[in-house]
Structure formats: structure tokens, C-alpha cells
Amino acid sequence: MDEAVERRRFLGLTAAAAALGLTATVAGCGSLGGDSGDVTLKLVAADYDLTGGDTTKKYWADLVAAFEAKHPGVKVEVQVLSWDDVDRKVAEMVKAGQAPDVAQIGAYADYAAADQLYAADDLLSIPVQANFLGPLAAAGEYKRTQYGMPFVASTRPLFYNKDLFQKAGAEAPTTWDELAEAAEKLKAKGVPTPFALPLGPEEAQAEALMWLLSGGGGWTDGSDRYAVDSDANIRTFEWLRTHLVGKDLTGPIAPGKLNRKAAFAAFANGEVGMLNGHPSLLKEAAKKGVRVGQVPLPGADGTPKTSMGVADWIMGFKQNGHRKEIGDFLDFVFSDENVLKFAGDNDLLPVTVTASTRMETDPEHENLRVFLKVLPDAQLPPVGKTSWAQVSENVKQNIGKAVTPGGSPSEVLGRIGRAATEAEKAE
């Protein structure tokens, strides 16, 4: 049996034992708890507050105060940076020989490849590591060892404007053909953008993956090799070009120039009938009186077997040698209370089995249940590949060309695919 699969099987058994209260001895022996003198950990984290407030800073301040009360020999200094800056700033710190002890950012693979991170095995107690949802733990692996620990996650169901659908006499779609039919009805009633298809450079790699999965494809094949121009992927983009873009059902802005942020703003303003949604959009739409319906992403012939998941990552750097203290801190970060607090406050999904189970039964988070339902079987982008950043950028800049009226999906995906294979060879 594959070593990584064997380890995940062992961790899964441990998680099951934890749920039955059988791991007191394991946790006591395997934990990295206890204090070891005066140590100051430096944490750099991303800012999730969409309104420009200080909710992320307050979360970390409260968490650190509670942690330090239990670990009097350890201090934690927190620096919260915007998503526009945080990945670049951490890269600069590492390059300058001033790596933080802990970073909560968007990617981990380059640091893992450079042997700059502790493996999760070296940091977390077994019950904590065993508690990650399977697809998220697997996505955190570089060469079959987990270095990236998922911090929060999201999935993307289809959002639709209930009032616009009602006026158009449209039904929530379950297949691509039904989606196109609903878009035609919305267009006939004067909806400016029946379906928003943001394939612009902000997040085209995610929007595209949602469609690829719903068409039975994906960025990689069963052996985790890039398969960008697979037959299934080409068929998906041919359908988008012909049945949505070609029939003027995607609004006045060309998909290749439409960014997610603009698409979400238009949906919240009542100008969009449907789009592939994100938990953070729910509050903004509600503020403006838009009644949002949610259904699983339609597939070519029905609900797809796999949907897309996205995760942000937290990791421990080796440079300062604080393995034990970092482990203690991350064990604390991943307690149910802390995981649920951050995910719930930001309309995101918890990354652990126990916290997800609790959220599913909490009436306060009923609007997130459709997201939670698909997360355990979700597929994430190939973030464990050091080539993914380069491939992702290529997708962001070029994938929109595949759906232009004169565009050729096979040619566009072929060019991206050949470049991806070359980048993969260089890993």
C-alpha cells in the first residue's frame, strides 16, 4: 500500500478513536505540549475582513491571549497583512533570512520544496493531524508528506437570484442544458447578465476548474499529471463558448475581462441571474435585499461527482528552530472553538471533521450547509505542485480566449497544457 495512503488510513483510525474518547493515552504521549523556557513566536497572517475592519486582528489577539495564558513561557507576536501583500511579504522575509515561525498565507509548496518547513508530523499531535478533512490534508502534501495545514476552506455552489428567476419563470438548474434554458428566460426578461462567467485574471483558474470538474475533467489526471487539454476539458469549453457566450448569455463584459470581484458586486446589485458563488457573497447580497438560492453546480448530465474546494494554508518554518512551541501553538489553533470561531465569523468552512460536524447542526450556520455538504468530496487545485503558481498564472491570463466567438478551446487549452507539462518537468 502507498505510504501516504497508509498513513492517512492510520490517521483516520486515530480520528475515529478520538471521536469515541479513546485517545487520552495517545494524546498524552504524542502531544508536543508543555513549556520550554522563554520563546517568542512570530506569526504572519492574512486579513479576511472584507470591510476594512479589524476582526481578523481581534481574532488573533484573543486566541494568542488564551494560548499565552496556558503556555507562560511562550509569547506570540502577530502581524496581519492584506491578501494583496501577505504572500509577497512572507517570501521577502524568507529570502532575507527572517522567516516567521508561522505563516497563514495562500501557498506552501515552494517553501516545502526548499526544505524550509516542518512537516505536519513534526508539529501536530496525532489527534489534531487526524482531524483534518481528507481532501484538505491530501492537498497539503508535497511529495507525499504534509507540510501545508489547511486553515479555512470554501466550496462553490451555484447561486441564483430568486426574484429574477421567479419573474422569468425559470427553475434552478441541475444540468448544463437546464442552465442555458434558465439563462435564455432571464435574458428575455431583460436581465443584464443571465450568467456571470468571470474568466478574467483575478481568479480564472478557480472558475475554470469548477466547469472542468462539472464536465468530468480537471487540471490533472488520475496520476496527478497535468491534463489541461483533455478531451473532457475541451468539450466543456466548447459548450461554454457555444451555448452561453455565443448566445450572449454572459453579459456585456467578455468573460476573459470579467473578474470575480466585479461579478460578485453585480450579483449583489441584482444585475446577475446566476453565478458560481462563494460563502462571502451571501452577506453582501443579503444587505442589498437580494434573495439568494443555492444548488450544487450543474453538470453536463446532472450533479457532478466532484466539486471544487479551495483552502488557505498555515505552516511552520524551520529557520528559528521553535518546532515544539510552533506545534503547541498550532494544536491550540486547531481546537474546535478556534476553528469554528474564525470560519463562522468569515462565512467560511472549518477544515476539521469535528468542527464541520458541529457547524452542520448549528442553526446559526444553516446558510453554509450546502457548502459543507460537498466539502468532504471536493477536489482542490494542484497546490502541492511547485509548478502550479506558474501554470495558474498562465490560466488566468489566457483561459478566457477559449470562449471568445472566434476562439478555439482545443488550441488555447493545448498551449496552456504544453506549458504546464514543461513546468512540471522542471519541478
**Is there a common fold for 3-154+310-376 and 158-307+387-425?**
yes
User: How far from 297 is each of 301, 309, 310, 318, 393, CA to CA, in Å?
Assistant: 11, 12, 15, 41, 25
The structure's pTM equals 0.81
User: pLDDT (tens digit, 9 = 90+) per residue, 97-119?
Assistant: 999 999 999 999 999 999 999 99
Residue 37 CB neighbour total at 10 angstroms: 7
How much is the pLDDT for 5? Answer: 39
Distance between CA atoms of residues 417 and 308, nearest Å = 20
**Are 47 and 82 contacting, i.e. CB atoms less than 8 angstroms apart?**
yes
Domain regions of the chain by residue span: 3-154+310-376, 158-307+387-425
Q: Is the pLDDT of residue 217 over 90?
A: yes
Residue 306's pLDDT band, with cuts at 50, 70 and 90, is confident
**Are 219 and 394 contacting, i.e. CB atoms less than 8 angstroms apart?**
no
How much is the pLDDT for 218? Answer: 96
How much is the pLDDT for 24? Answer: 34
Distance between CA atoms of residues 153 and 362, nearest Å = 18
User: pLDDT (tens digit, 9 = 90+) per residue, 68-87?
Assistant: 999 999 999 999 999 889 99
Q: Is the pLDDT of residue 8 over 60?
A: no
Residue carrying the nine cell digits 489526471: 221
Burial 65-93 (b: 16+ CB within 10 A, else e): eebeeebeebebebbbbeeeebbebbbeb
Domain formed by 158-307+387-425, architecture: 3-Layer(aba) Sandwich (3.40)
Q: Averaged over 375-401, what is the pLDDT?
A: 92
Percent of the chain whose pLDDT exceeds 90: 77
State which fold the 3-154+310-376 domain adopts: D-Maltodextrin-Binding Protein; domain 2 (3.40.190)
User: pLDDT (tens digit, 9 = 90+) per residue, 326-384?
Assistant: 999 999 999 999 999 999 988 899 999 999 999 999 888 888 888 888 888 889 999 99
- Return the amino acid letter for 276: N
Q: Is the pLDDT of residue 184 over 80?
A: yes
Q: Averaged over 207-215, what is the pLDDT?
A: 96
Q: Averaged over 173-189, what is the pLDDT?
A: 98
Q: Averaged over 142-154, what is the pLDDT?
A: 96
How much is the pLDDT for 98? Answer: 97
Q: Is the pLDDT of residue 199 over 50?
A: yes
pLDDT mean across residues, the chain:
90
Distance between CA atoms of residues 394 and 414, nearest Å = 12
Q: Is the pLDDT of residue 13 over 70?
A: no
Q: Is the pLDDT of residue 94 over 80?
A: yes
User: How far from 379 is each of 16, 218, 376, CA to CA, in Å?
Assistant: 23, 9, 9
How much is the pLDDT for 121? Answer: 96
How much is the pLDDT for 37? Answer: 54
Radius of gyration of the chain (CA): 22
- Here the contacts of 22-30 (C-beta below 8 Å, separation 24 or greater) are 23/126, 23/127, 26/126, 26/127, 27/125, 27/126, 27/127, 30/125, 30/126, 30/127
Question: What sign does the CA torsion over 132, 134, 136, 139 have?
Answer: positive
How much is the pLDDT for 26? Answer: 32
Main-chain phi, psi angles of 89, to 5 degrees: -65, -45
How much is the pLDDT for 370? Answer: 81
